[in-house]
Amino acid sequence: MAQARRNEKYSLNAPFPAALGVTANLTAALDAAEVVLLVVPSHAFRSMLVALVQTGVALKGLAWATKGFELETGLLPHQVVAAVMPRDFPTAVLAGPTFASEVGAGLPSAMTIASRNEDYALRLAEAISTDTFRAYTSTDIVGVEVGGATKNVFAIGAGISDGLGFGANTRIALLTRGLAEMTRLGLALGAQKDTFMGLAGMGDLVLTCTDNQSRNRRFGLALAAGKGVDEALRAIGQVVEGYYGARSVRIVAARLGVDMPIVEQIYRVIYEGLAPEKAVAALMRRPIIGEH
């Protein structure tokens, strides 16, 4: 990447900005950094934090775009940070409906930056906003992280539904009820309800569920086409966060007593070999309840 000045494998050849340096030396990358931004899969998040600590560099600020509960513990990313890192610097999470290829191509996009330190969130938002990229601020770290942790699971379900040819009615029902499940889990964890109607909630959910740039949606499409889980994962060729998320979200929901029937059925399809058609039938046959 240092020579090509682009990530040819993952970012569709979007060129790096002239001011962006590339190094494989973590300590060198931290030199004089005002803010460290981590963008790694959830299963690598803790180990990356440990590596940061081991450099001995005193961080001035930390932010992350990692999405998902930690599989082994059920912790959200900010809780992993609290367990691993010193707490004498501001932290924030970046999330929202953004495909990297479109951001890299300069297409208009928007996202959310959440921090308990409002000034820090605003400073980050101002630093990364451009004529084609806009950041909004929030203090609801929990809500923003729950949105990111759950939307990939529902995207697998949307891919399965569309792959089976169930149509637009089914897709929108899945999105709407998925949003309800996401919100229930978030509220149980202390999130703010309004967050789930914003970019990091409904926005990211709709994007991930409806566009084939989503690895999770494509994974669901592959399952609907009859591919096995391992074969579908290999075909994607990148981390499918929803594959891990189906297990971790299910565990957290069970621990809190939160009803998430769509997550439950997606889990059964992925991990127990349930036929997707039977999963849909199980959801449709649930007892009738009030919508809200």
Confidence check: pLDDT of 270 > 70: yes
Distance CA 167, CA 161 (A): 8
pTM to 2 decimal places: 0.93
Spelled out in words, what is the top-level CATH class assigned to the domain 142-284? mainly alpha
Active site residue 193: no
Q: What is residue 15's predicted lDDT score, i.e. its pLDDT? A: 81
Q: What proportion of the chain, given as a percentage, has pLDDT over 70? A: 99
Close Cβ partners of 89 (under 8 Å, ≥ 6 residues apart): 59, 60, 61, 62
Confidence check: pLDDT of 2 > 80: no
Catalytic residue chosen out of the listed positions 9, 151, 193, 278: 151
Domain locations in the chain? 26-141, 142-284
Task: Residue 202: count other Cβ atoms within 10 Å of its Cβ.
Answer: 21
User: Within 31-106, where are the H helices?
Assistant: 45-55, 77-84, 100-104
Task: Assess contact for 43 and 244: CB atoms under 8 A.
Answer: yes
CA 221 to chain centre: 19
Q: Do 26-141 and 142-284 show the same overall fold?
A: no
Close Cβ partners of 240 (under 8 Å, ≥ 6 residues apart): 152, 156, 215, 216, 219, 233
Distance CA 94, CA 136 (A): 10
Spelled out in words, what is the top-level CATH class assigned to the domain 26-141? alpha beta
Which is higher by pLDDT, 259 or 292? Answer: 259
Q: What is residue 31's predicted lDDT score, i.e. its pLDDT? A: 86
Confidence check: pLDDT of 61 > 90: yes
Residue 23, both tokens: 């190094």
What are the pLDDT digits (tens) for 239-256? Answer: 899 999 999 999 999 999
Distance CA 267, CA 78 (A): 25
Residue 148, both tokens: 């990111």
What are the pLDDT digits (tens) for 181-196? Answer: 999 999 999 999 999 9
